[in-house]
Chain A
């Protein structure tokens, strides 16, 4: 007969206000096998943990049931307590009487009955629990960082500073991301490229960082500590080792296309360096535009290249890298202004906020002078429209893009610096400037830079008598407002990078409704994903400003360093286990396993002759999902810690009243 201890937590009043914990404790004590049942106000607190340890020792308990919050919250805590009391951690089970009872029931009696049932079921279940030991996994101490914007670069630099090698992957020809495009950054109006280019050069000069630019992740195999990443190095058509970066090729190129770096405000040739400070400073041929590739009759770049670096025959190369941890920092994108036809996206003087950044940036098309795209005039009256797309469920975006309020205030200032006699108008729905000294920053735009903030959405942007007219609502005085504008800047919503879902599927990590990558726990594990060894940094998780992205990148780097610093990575037990005596060797389990954890094993007799083939689980790869156990025809696979006996006894206990 087992000696079970039942502990019921009040969780302050969170559980106790709906569940009669005293009654549950009294009931728990009457269950067969239960030696002691106790209720306590905060079991997770120091004294609460001490109480559990004392009771385990005093009553020589061999199983423990803790009825408290979700096991995701505190199972690790209580299992550690069980170890302290001298038990195997797997001999402790948790009952979630918070989310399953107190939070979902209004009626105290019902919640109490529910809690009693849950406790009874788990007491029956825990009798079948067996001691399981943690599984040690060796770790390859190299990290892969996907995306080289500010978050990716920061994470790489931090990991490299810890003394470990980093493989940094960037989809575009140059690293730097969106931050390299910005003119000045809030709230100090520092020069963004000055900060960014310094970081970018640090990346190429750091011996611990191996940079793959113009490359994408082809596939990922393996598991925490032992990933194999296949990287597709897209063909640059330029030999990086031969190229000197002289720039003759892109001066001569005649095929032009809109520049991505300048957000379509200027054009770039087919062979191009995205921007003068690009890293690496080697050009790349855009094969979809290049006349040589499209029509086969150009080849001018090859002719002018003195180093003979142009190589039209270059092909995509697949490189394999062994890494132990991955940081995903794929960043964000802006919603296209064409999504709002009523805002006049077709007019050249209606631009997005990133285009505005390029217009006021010293490296931009106008060399830092603010001139409107249509006629190169200096705009005197600029209307900024916030929340274009954000908080607009009709366009599928219910969230706040978080940074628009502050960068719009910054852009007001930049505009007034350029044009001191100009007037800025800002349409807003809500000012959300909650960061450190952000509210003061926005107030400064209003009070010092005299921007007129109008609360309300804009209905339309029209072209009337050759000038733009913004028609909006002023809900503060309940009237319509019309403003003549020389330039309209749309703070379009921040969206996830297109195609990030595909990457997420390759990595085996989750993403939310808006394709932002999901963290494991919004408060307690904000940089981890649900896949061990894969971490998040920056705006790929949710809209973030630079400060937050850098902070999260540092956090992700510290998680990676923590993983590398430990001698062996320990994985929680609770994996699939094959009963070789009954396994029929159909290998259906191998087909259904999403982690490639099932291997084929040959069984030999005493003479060493092969008798038959059975499945075997690679404990390093297995994540304990249980799919194989469900699929197994001969019922030969059981999930440790979730075996049939445990589940059936739990169900049977529900029937007993």
Chain B
């Protein structure tokens, strides 16, 4: 296809009438195509909205007017809202429709006939498209329904699975609880045993205490000290000897090592006897 531009083309009049009717400056359109990608009916249009704008810019009147685009435009204004140059395309489409009808009058076509003709043409194109659209829509709906049914089944399966998993988890919990009880019992048993052992240890305490008395001291003092320590060791673990008879006896440190199943020994014994 080829178009020609020259002074003879009556493009100015056409562009001006569109600009007056729509109140838009057509030349601001820079053909980004956002109107066409936004248009919900674009796929059914013979000429895309941005191409319509281009035709008007070039003054290609016939191409701008003779197409189904201007009749398919529902005036939803998506294009107008999204246009980066703030062009109101819906209004441009309105003015194209007006000019189209004016042309019908101007060219003195029998109005009824022409209207009928246009009506038929539009009806044909629109209806066939609509019909096709409806069929497509139905097919689509059916597909969607199937998909949804499949989805439901999948979801049901999922639910069952999840219920099983829940049961398994509950069993696991019970087992763990039993384990805990068992372990508690064992702990108690062990505690009892420990107590028993402690008693045993106490019984054994005081069996053998070997004390040497440093320095010079009488045997009586030694016996006294021994008895005192014995008594103390029986009661606690460390003994401090105070005054025995007329002698001051100080025990610096008496560390007693208590071992299980072993006799009590005084392993460090430094007893100073002072007179």
Contacts and interface: CB of A to CB of B under 8 A. Distances in A.
Contacts of B54: 476-477
A480 interface: yes
Interface string A449-466: 010100100000000000
Contacts of B30: 443, 446
A447 interface: yes
B5 A447 contact: no
Contacts of B5: 425, 452, 481-484
Contact of A447 (B2, B25, B58): B25
Contact of B3 (A381, A423, A425, A479): A479
B7 A381 contact: yes
A477 B7 contact: no
Interface in A423-474: 423, 425, 443, 446-447, 450, 452, 455, 474
Chain A contact residues: over half helix, strand or loop, or mixed?
strand
A476 B62 CA distance: 18
B2 A452 contact: no
A198 to B, nearest CB: 37
Nearest to A478: B1
Given A380-B7, A381-B6, A447-B28, A452 B57 contact: yes
Interface string B1-34: 1111111000000000000000001011011000
Nearest to B2: A480
A450 B7 contact: no
Contact of B4 (A443, A447, A482): A482
A480 B4 CA distance: 9
**Interface size classification for chain A:** 10 to 19
A139 to B, nearest CB: 54
B51 interface: yes
Contacts of B2: 479-482
A475 to B, nearest CB: 10
A477 B6 contact: no
Given A477-B51, A477-B54, A477-B55, A450 B27 contact: yes
Nearest to A450: B27
Nearest to A485: B6
Instruction: Determine which residue in A425, A477, A479, A482 has the highest number of CB atoms from chain B within 10 A of its CB, and name it.
Output: A477
Nearest to B33: A476
Given A446-B27, A447-B25, A482-B2, A423 B58 contact: no
Contacts of A477: 51, 54-55
Contacts of A452: 5, 57-58
B33 to A, nearest CB: 9
B31 A476 contact: yes
Interface in B22-65: 25, 27-28, 30-31, 51, 54-55, 57-58
Contacts of A482: 2-5
B102 to A, nearest CB: 23
Given A381-B7, A474-B58, A480-B2, 10 more contacts: A423-B7, A443-B30, A447-B27, A452-B58, A455-B31, A474-B3, A479-B1, A481-B5, A482-B3, A483-B5
Interface of B: 1-7, 25, 27-28, 30-31, 51, 54-55, 57-58
9 contacts: A381-B6, A423-B7, A425-B5, A477-B54, A480-B2, A481-B5, A482-B2, A482-B5, A483-B4
Can you list the 3 inter-chain pairs with the closest CB atoms, starting with the nearest?
A484-B6, A480-B2, A483-B5
